[in-house]
Structure 1
Amino acid sequence: MTEHSSRILRFRPTIDTKFHIDYSWWEGQEAELHAYLISLLPEEKRDLFVDREEAPKIDWIDPKTAEVKQIDALQHALQTLVGNVEELRQTPLVDAVFRVFLANANTPLSPIELEERIGRPARTILRTLSGARVYRGLRPAITEDNED
């Protein structure tokens, strides 16, 4: 058992527990992650990334700092695709949550905060994300506050 998974077992997530995409869950599955990320794109954008092992880099301006950064074009395309609440209600729950985290640069959110963004009940989100099975690397964001 990894240190991360043993820490997760020490507490029971609540609707106030923050979750995020745990990219360590995807380790060794980079090709699957790449394919999954591409599948989230609209069809007209998928062709830009399908046959590439690595997405091209683009210049991006951080809206908070005005700093210009080089970022992955696939990451940028995914961050802009979240859509509105109505669209996310039609999206499978796990995919909707994953898309929210892609759009917000993987800033941890609670089921209550996710409910506001995807229009699904917080309790349903909590049951899905805190069950025995880990979906798409969506796990509690381990912090000092929830380790006790």
Structure 2
Amino acid sequence: MTPPKPSALAKPTLDTPYHIDYDWWPTSGEDLRVVLLRQVPPEFHDMVTAEPADRQIDYIDPRTGRISRVDPLRFALKVAAENPAFINREISVIDCVLRVLLMNDNRPITPRELAALTGYDGQQILRLLSGARVYYGSDRSSPKL
């Protein structure tokens, strides 16, 4: 059973968790692969585009040692995320938010936590995530039942 979506009437706060809603992408008019490829550093572009999208590569998480099978694009994103410069103030706020969500395997995270990780203002992040426009499928997370 899918948990209910948070009420649209409940005003989001700095402690409201957000995640990427992958169900949003097919109806958005945006291409998820293109958006993700824009997050990959240039030195990985040739590797990602040369490999078949359905190829699986072993990725070893340097923190946990856990091995997972990922496509070339996810592999490039995971390797790029290991570099502290992956999150920086030279990219837009919303790109920073997307990168943090990707780094954290889309675990829900609050604007307060995002602010601590990105250096951007939590209120600014909250305004972007709770506004009328949906950025990169960002959505409030449903409570766990």
Work out the CA distance in 2 between the residues paired with 1:85 and 1:70.
25
For residues 71-110 of structure 1, give each alpha carbon's deviation from its aligned partner in whole angstroms, at most 9, with x where no partner exists.
Answer: 2221121123245379521111111100111111111110
Q: Is the CA contact 1:38–1:50 (under 8 Å) kept in the aligned structure 2? A: no
Q: Is the CA contact 2:3–2:144 (under 8 Å) kept in the aligned structure 1? A: no
Aligned to 2:89: 89
Q: Is the CA contact 1:21–1:139 (under 8 Å) kept in the aligned structure 2? A: yes
Structure 1 residues 67 and 53: CA distance shift in structure 2, 3 A:
closer
Structure 1 residues 5 and 30: CA distance shift in structure 2, 3 A:
farther
Structure 1 residues 137 and 86: CA distance shift in structure 2, 3 A:
closer
Q: Is the CA contact 1:49–1:55 (under 8 Å) kept in the aligned structure 2? A: no
Structure 1 residues 4 and 33: CA distance shift in structure 2, 3 A:
farther
> How do 1:1-148 residues align onto structure 2 when only pairs under 5 Å count?
7-28=6-27, 32-50=31-49, 54-61=53-60, 63-64=63-64, 66-82=65-81, 83-84=83-84, 88-144=88-144
**1:132 aligns to what SS in structure 2?**
coil
Structure 1 residues 6 and 143: CA distance shift in structure 2, 3 A:
closer
Work out the CA distance in 1 between the residues paired with 2:29 and 2:49.
14
Q: TM-score, normalised by structure 2?
A: 0.81
Letter in 2 for 1:70: R
State which drifts further: 66-75 or 37-46: 66-75
Q: Is the CA contact 1:79–1:104 (under 8 Å) kept in the aligned structure 2? A: no
**Could you list the runs of 5+ residues in structure 1 that have no partner in the other structure?**
none
Structure 1 residues 56 and 134: CA distance shift in structure 2, 3 A:
same
For residues 29-50 of structure 1, give each alpha carbon's deviation from its aligned partner in whole angstroms, at most 9, with x where no partner exists.
Answer: 6971111111111112112223
**Could you list the runs of 5+ residues in structure 2 that have no partner in the other structure?**
none
The count of residues paired between Structure 1 and Structure 2 equals 142
**1:11 aligns to what SS in structure 2?**
coil
Between the two proteins, what is the percent identity of the paired residues? 33
RMSD: 2.9
Work out the CA distance in 1 between the residues paired with 2:137 and 2:3.
12
Work out the CA distance in 1 between the residues paired with 2:126 and 2:20.
14
Work out the CA distance in 1 between the residues paired with 2:51 and 2:33.
10
